[in-house]
Amino acid sequence: MIVEKVLNNNVVVSIDPNTKKEVIIMGSGIAFNKKVGQEIEEDKIEKIFVVDDKGMGNKLKKLINQIPDGIFQLAHEIITYASKKLNRKLDKQIYISLADHIAFAIKRYKNNIQIKNDLLDEIRRIHREEFSVALWAVEHINKRLKINLPEDEAAFIALHLVNASYQETSKESVIATNIIKGILNIIRYYYSVEFNEEDLNYDRLLTHLKYFAKRVVTNNQNRSTDSEFIDLAKKSYPEAYDCAQRVKSYIEGNYDYIVNKDEIVYLTMHIHRVISVLRNSKI
């Protein structure tokens, strides 16, 4: 195969000569001193990710350019292991959400910032299979990077696996799409902004809303705990918190679903992040 684009020293983009589909190829040092048009050394190929959807491929390439080398490969290994152990096909959006989460978790660890998962015991109990895989994932990350991520990260990763396992009917998909559209409109009108759909933070928000909408459609509610994070979110990001409260009113007024405190916190964080980038770009 031929190099179409170099993403970093360990990842290149190519075209499969048989299927003519775009592929993301991973391997240690596979792109070192390589230029577009040169042959890829087959003995250096460790993983090949087939890009079935162009939009998804563009998002993945953008993410790979923004996270440290090796993180996407780690996410790919975890997803491959999870699919096999759980014996299920996972939504490919997890490649974006999980790689992004791992990169952020490592950054927090290096900055000595610890986030407790208040749902740790609940996730361990309710989602036993996913949590078992997630424990392996944390151990895999720790061994590979010689760090010491806590067990709380396994709970976060387990939820990524749970979210990526949801299956929708056509009707559910339409309802979920309308939910996402409604939430995005609330944010647009609240801040009087138009989103930059090329911004990775917008994509992170959209991915979160997709999983949130699936929970609303399936009424798959996670019980919330009284966490100090809700007060911290309200104090730190009052505008985004108020906007998240409007989302809560919209959901609870139109669907048989109660938006809990944990979801308000995550909505607040995602809204703040995407709006901050939009505002900074106008300075």
Same domain, 233 and 248: yes
**Domain of residue 33, CATH code:** 2.30.24.10
Query: Along the 283 residues of the chain, how does pLDDT read in single tens digits?
Result: 888 888 888 888 888 888 888 888 888 888 888 888 889 888 888 878 787 777 778 888 888 888 888 898 899 899 999 999 999 888 888 888 899 999 999 998 998 888 887 778 877 877 788 899 999 999 999 999 999 999 999 988 988 888 787 665 557 767 888 898 999 999 999 999 888 877 888 888 888 888 888 889 888 776 565 566 788 888 999 999 999 999 999 999 999 898 988 889 889 989 998 998 888 776 5
* Residues paired with 8 in a beta bridge: 11
59 occurs within a structural domain = no
Give me the domain span that covers residue 11: 1-54
**Domain of residue 200, CATH code:** 1.10.1790.10
215 occurs within a structural domain = yes
Give the total number of structural domains in the chain: 3
Render pLDDT for 179-211 as a digit per residue (tens, 0 to 9).
989 999 999 999 998 888 778 888 888 888 888
Measured distance between the N- and C-terminal CA atoms of the chain, rounded to whole angstroms: 44
46-54 LR contacts (CB < 8 Å, sep 24+): 46/73, 47/73, 47/76, 47/77, 48/23, 48/24, 49/23, 49/24, 49/25, 49/76, 49/95, 50/16, 50/19, 50/21, 50/22, 50/23, 51/21, 51/22, 51/23, 51/24, 52/21, 52/92, 53/92, 54/22
Same domain, 175 and 275: yes
CB atoms within 10 A of CB 158: 28
Residue 226 backbone phi and psi in degrees, to 5: -75, 95
Domain end position, chosen among 116, 143, 165: 165
61 occurs within a structural domain = no
209 occurs within a structural domain = yes
Same domain, 251 and 199: yes
Render pLDDT for 50-70 as a digit per residue (tens, 0 to 9).
877 777 788 888 888 888 888
Q: What is the pLDDT of residue 169?
A: 57
Same domain, 190 and 252: yes
60 occurs within a structural domain = no
Same domain, 128 and 182: no
Same domain, 265 and 197: yes
144 occurs within a structural domain = yes
Same domain, 85 and 20: no
Q: Yes or no: say if 1 and 34 are a contact pair by the CB < 8 Å rule.
A: no
234 occurs within a structural domain = yes
Same domain, 48 and 98: no
pTM given for the model: 0.63
189 occurs within a structural domain = yes
Domain end position, chosen among 147, 165, 183: 165
Q: What is the distance between the alpha carbons of residues 174 and 196, in angstroms, rounded to a whole number?
A: 24
